[in-house]
Chain A
Amino acid sequence: KNEVEQSPQNLTAQEGEFITINCSYSVGISALHWLQQHPGGGIVSLFMLSSGKKKHGRLIATINIQEKHSSLHITASHPRDSAVYICAVSSTGNQFYFGTGTSLTVIP
């Protein structure tokens, strides 16, 4: 049983398309993180949120605490957005759980 489920696992999009990645979790959380990992391993934290919605450039993250669900949206996708996107949660039990990641490829 995975505490964090992500979908889709793989996603291919044309440049300019609107992209949505979904994350569902089953534990009580203190925060939810969206992470980006490029080939080579480096991880960048995109968002940390515990309620509502956050926006940074073309990226938008939303969370619905009642439904235990979060989405990451990328507007006007670009080839440089190609990466693995990982949802992670800090649980109220002081554990940290990760989704398996969504591999995004944006084709020019």
Chain B
Amino acid sequence: KAGVTQTPRYLIKTRGQQVTLSCSPISGHRSVSWYQQTPGQGLQFLFEYFSETQRNKGNFPGRFSGRQFSNSRSEMNVSTLELGDSALYLCASSLENTGSPLHFGNGTRLTVT
């Protein structure tokens, strides 16, 4: 069974631009959650989608958004990039978020210059 796939692996953007990251979950998993990891703040929860609906949301500004498609693939969008958005963005999939183990992708490393 293929694992969680995140694309791209690396991305360099300029302040003010927007970016879209993609996450393909393990087949059969309906929950996809997104996380930001930075050296200063560590891992932080962004949001979680289940069956195309955002079910939970962390404490991030509205510039961070996401969506989930009918095949459970998910995208995360960050608009008006700031230098502080430079981070490793991880997604994880599970059968059902709160009751099932999480399976993480390898992440997308975003650098904002």
A interface list, Cβ under 8 A from B: 30-31, 33, 35, 40-45, 48, 86, 88, 90, 94-101
Give B residues with C-beta under 8 Å from A: 33, 35, 37, 42-45, 48, 55-56, 58, 88, 90, 92, 97-104, 106-107, 109
Across chains A and B, the number of contacting residue pairs, with CB separation under 8 Å, is: 55
- A97–B100 alpha-carbon span in the complex (Å): 16
The residues of B that contact A101 with a CB separation of less than 8 Å are: 42-43
The reply to whether A90 and B97 contact each other, CB–CB distance below 8 Å, is yes
Chain B, interface SS category: strand
Complex-state Cα separation, A30 to B102, whole angstroms: 14
A-B contact list, 27 entries, CB within 8 Å: A30-B98, A31-B99, A35-B102, A41-B90, A41-B107, A42-B104, A43-B92, A43-B104, A45-B101, A45-B104, A48-B102, A86-B43, A88-B43, A94-B48, A94-B55, A95-B56, A95-B58, A96-B35, A96-B45, A96-B56, A96-B58, A98-B43, A98-B44, A98-B45, A99-B42, A100-B42, A101-B42
Question: Are A45's CB and B103's CB within 8 A?
Answer: yes
Q: Please give 11 more A-B residue pairs, beta carbons under 8 A apart, in addition to A33-B102, A45-B103, A96-B48.
A: A30-B99, A40-B106, A41-B106, A42-B106, A43-B90, A43-B92, A48-B101, A90-B98, A94-B98, A98-B43, A101-B43
Note all chain A residues with C-beta closer than 8 A to B42: 98-101
Most buried by A among B55, B90, B98: B98
Instruction: Please give me the 3 A-B residue pairs with the lowest Cβ-Cβ distance, nearest first.
Output: A96-B45, A98-B43, A43-B104
